[in-house]
Every structure is written in structure tokens, then in C-alpha cells.
């Protein structure tokens, strides 16, 4: 199947078919539809690799994630895919845990190299990048637009973030309103990161609780979000060391779900004996019993903002360098 067959069925020239495929030159909506209908009827798919080699953009955006089995990434990836496809592009996903296993920078560098080898037009990275490795990444990306999602690395690199400061404030206000006096918080590995913005939700939450006169005890977790055994060990330790806690705010909904299950195994009533608040707003939180109260991140807005910046950069346009998306408190049955 070739573009000659497509041109014949659509009743246009091969040049017109090529222009439609590459979105070049003046094209009417009627012509575009005729060509796309002919392609669909014939089952024709353009050779993206050949187009990239010929100097035509691949119309593929690369996405770097930490792992495929992280439900947070799955939900965000779905929204990125929808945003990319609605603009006539495709996505190629690289997991730093697999492609870059054993490489410096937690494998992110290896994942980026993989995407660049596939001629992607831009890269969106969901991974935190240690500043030590950024110069090497900048050099490798050269003219390929690079956007960070949910973290920042440099003032001149576009980033799309959730308003985690707002999230920390909402969490503190909510648990205070519920009468909590002794709260445990599970954060990321705050001591591992040199910059506060990596976990603004935790810093803000702890400071706000202090302003309210609420007692807090923070536990840092540096393991994988899918290392359920390690998470369970930390939860067990928290309960053994804080039998008088009346509230717990966890840095993600996976932790919150495990916390609810463990509390119930001890005979505690949720939320009467303990109020549990998660973060992210992933679908998992609706499947627990009781369903989990959480601070929901704007998956759709985050994805659309990152993709729009990537597309603008591909076109050579100026873009915002920092986009902040709001979060929202979702009160369910655990608080």
C-alpha cells in the first residue's frame, strides 16, 4: 500500500497526499478529510521512521516515566495520550526503571537517550532529575524540546507543576477542621533533595500544622511507590510508634489505601478513631472501603499544559516557562 493508492482513491495528486501527511502548505478541510478517509479505507499508515530520516518531523512525543506499574503514571499517561492524539501526534514511552536500569541519574538519562534515538520531536519527563545530571541531558537533547512535568530543573526549561503548596494548605485545613490534634505525615525523602519545590506539599503541610498548634510527626519514605512490602513495614512502624494519633496525611493514595487496611486490621474505625487523607486522586482511592479522602491533582490540565508547551516548542514558538495547575480537596469517607 503506497500514497499512490491513497491519491487514486481520494482523487487527488500524490503531492497533495504528502502535504496532508506532513501538514504542509495550504489545505482545505475538505481535502484533508478526503485523504484521511481514503487512508482509513485502505488501511494505510505512513512510515514515521522514514519521514524522520527524510527531515520531516516524526510527529511523536517521547514521555519519560519511572515505572509502568505506577497507577499515578498510568492515569497521567492516559491524559497525555489523549492530548497528543488530538493534535495528530503519537507518544513513545520510556521507563527509566527498565530502559535505563543501572545507569546514572536513576536511569532517566538512559530513557532520554532511547527516546532521542527514535527521533522524537519533543520529550516530556515525569521524573525528578538530579541537578548533577542536567548538563549532560541538556547537551544530549540539543535542539529537541524538553519539558518537565511535576518537577523543575532550571529556570529556562519549561515545567508544568501541581500547586503542591495549595495541596499542603488544604490538607492541614481539612484535618484541623475535623478536630485532629496529633497528626502523622508520610512524605517523600525530603533530606535527599536540595530544593524545597520537590515536595512543597509536605513542607507547607508541616508548617501550617505548626501554625495551628497541631502536633505532627513526619516519616520520610524514599522507596518505590510499588514496593508494597517496604511501604507496609513503614505503616506498621508508624502505628506502633503513634498509637495516640488521630489523623494521618500520606503523600500518595497508594500509601493511604494500605494505611486504611492496616488500621482496620487493628480494629480501628475509620474515620471515628483515625482520619486518613491521601494525595493524587487516582482511581484506586474510590475502590477502597471506605473510599479515601484525597487531594486530587488535575491530570487533564497537567497533561494538556505539557503537551501544548511541547507542540509550541516544536513550532519554534515562545512558551511559558512555568505552569502551575490547581489541586482540589476531595472529601470521601476516611475523614
pLDDT at residue 262 in the model: 96
As for how many domains the chain has, the answer is: 3
The list of the chain residues with pLDDT below 70 reads 1, 23, 45-57, 99-106, 191-198, 225
> pLDDT of 75-85, one tens digit each?
999 999 999 99
> pLDDT of 197-245, one tens digit each?
558 899 999 999 999 999 999 999 887 767 888 999 999 999 999 999 9
Same domain, 176 and 287: yes
Parent domain of 66: 60-162+299-326
Runs of H (alpha helix) within the chain: 3-10, 14-22, 29-42, 48-53, 71-85, 108-117, 134-141, 164-177, 200-212, 228-241, 253-265, 299-314
CATH number of the structural domain spanning residue 14: 1.10.260.40
Is 200 inside a domain boundary? yes
CATH number of the structural domain spanning residue 115: 3.40.50.2300
CB 95 within 8 A of CB 157: no
pLDDT at residue 283 in the model: 93
Same domain, 127 and 189: no
pLDDT at residue 46 in the model: 66
pLDDT at residue 212 in the model: 94
CB 217 within 8 A of CB 248: no
Is 105 inside a domain boundary? yes
Same domain, 243 and 211: yes
Is 253 inside a domain boundary? yes
pLDDT at residue 302 in the model: 97
Amino acid at each position: 500500500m503506497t500514497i499512490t493508492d491513497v491519491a487514486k482513491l481520494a482523487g487527488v495528486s500524490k503531492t497533495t497526499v504528502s502535504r496532508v501527511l506532513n501538514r504542509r502548505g495550504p489545505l482545505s478541510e475538505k481535502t484533508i478529510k478526503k485523504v484521511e478517509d481514503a487512508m482509513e479505507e485502505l488501511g494505510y499508515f505512513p512510515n514515521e521512521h522514514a519521514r524522520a530520516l527524510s527531515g520531516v518531523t516524526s510527529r511523536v512525543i517521547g514521555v519519560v516515566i519511572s515505572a509502568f506499574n505506577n497507577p499515578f503514571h498510568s492515569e497521567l499517561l492516559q491524559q497525555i495520550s489523549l492530548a497528543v492524539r488530538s493534535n495528530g501526534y503519537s507518544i513513545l514511552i520510556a521507563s527509566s526503571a527498565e530502559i535505563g536500569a543501572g545507569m546514572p541519574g536513576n536511569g532517566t538519562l538512559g530513557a532520554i537517550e532511547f527516546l532521542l534515538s527514535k527521533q522524537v520531536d519533543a520529550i516530556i519527563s515525569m521524573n525528578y532529575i538530579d541537578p548533577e545530571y542536567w548538563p549532560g541531558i541538556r547537551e544530549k537533547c540539543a535542539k529537541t524540546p524538553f519539558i518537565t512535568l511535576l518537577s523543575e530543573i532550571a529556570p529556562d526549561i519549561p515545567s508544568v507543576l501541581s500547586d503542591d503548596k495549595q495541596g499542603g494548605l488544604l490538607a492541614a485545613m481539612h484535618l484541623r477542621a475535623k478536630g485532629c490534634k496529633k497528626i502523622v505525615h508520610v512524605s517523600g525523602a525530603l533530606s535527599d533533595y536540595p530544593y524545597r519545590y520537590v515536595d512543597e506539599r509536605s513542607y507547607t503541610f508541616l508548617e501550617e500544622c505548626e501554625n495551628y498548634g497541631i502536633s505532627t510527626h513526619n516519616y520520610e519514605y524514599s522507596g518505590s511507590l510499588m514496593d508494597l512490602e517496604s511501604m507496609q513495614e513503614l505503616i506498621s512502624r508508624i502505628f506502633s510508634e503513634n498509637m495516640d494519633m488521630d489523623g494521618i496525611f500520606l503523600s500518595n493514595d497508594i500509601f493511604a489505601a494500605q494505611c486504611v487496611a492496616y488500621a482496620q486490621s487493628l480494629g480501628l474505625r475509620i474515620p471515628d478513631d483515625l482520619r486518613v487523607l491521601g494525595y493524587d486522586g487516582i482511581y484506586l482511592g474510590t475502590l477502597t472501603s471506605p473510599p479515601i479522602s484525597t487531594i486530587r491533582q488535575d491530570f487533564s490540565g497537567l497533561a494538556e499544559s505539557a503537551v501544548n508547551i511541547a507542540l509550541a516548542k516544536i513550532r519554534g514558538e515562545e512558551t511559558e516557562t512555568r505552569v502551575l495547575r490547581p489541586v482540589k480537596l476531595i472529601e470521601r469517607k476516611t475523614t
